[in-house]
Amino acid sequence: MRILATTVAAAALAFSTPALAANIDLSTWTCRQFQNANKSEVYVIMAWLDGYYKQEDDPPVVDTDEFADTTKKLADYCAAHPDAAFITATDLLFQRE
């Protein structure tokens, strides 16, 4: 699954605009930084998160409706908690234990 997420992220990077940051260290980001990210960065981040939080035996399927719903939930959470650590927000949203 992580290979699939990496492949998707790499493809997104290859076809994205040059405004994309060279490195995105999500461990240092706040929700405010996510809110201020450009569209290309958000796509790459969400694709990476989708793969990161999948279980090893999950099928290699990208559910675009679920993907959009998750992105909205994360954006809503970050709007309400702009100073929260971004990874803390994603752990809460994706129920990481």
Cβ atoms 62, 8 nearer than 8 A: yes
Q: How confident is the model at residue 96 (pLDDT cuts 50, 70, 90)?
A: low
Q: What is the pLDDT of residues 30-84, one digit of tens each?
A: 999 999 999 999 999 999 999 999 888 999 888 899 889 999 999 999 999 999 9
Q: How confident is the model at residue 22 (pLDDT cuts 50, 70, 90)?
A: confident
**1 or 45, greater pLDDT:** 45
Instruction: For 85, list phi and psi in degrees, rounded to 5.
Output: -65, 130
Backbone Cα Rg of the chain:
13
In sequence order, the β-bridge partners of residue 85 are 30
Q: Which fold has domain 2-94?
A: 10k-s Protein, Hypothetical Protein A; Chain A (1.10.890)
Cβ atoms 41, 21 nearer than 8 A: yes
Cβ atoms 37, 45 nearer than 8 A: yes
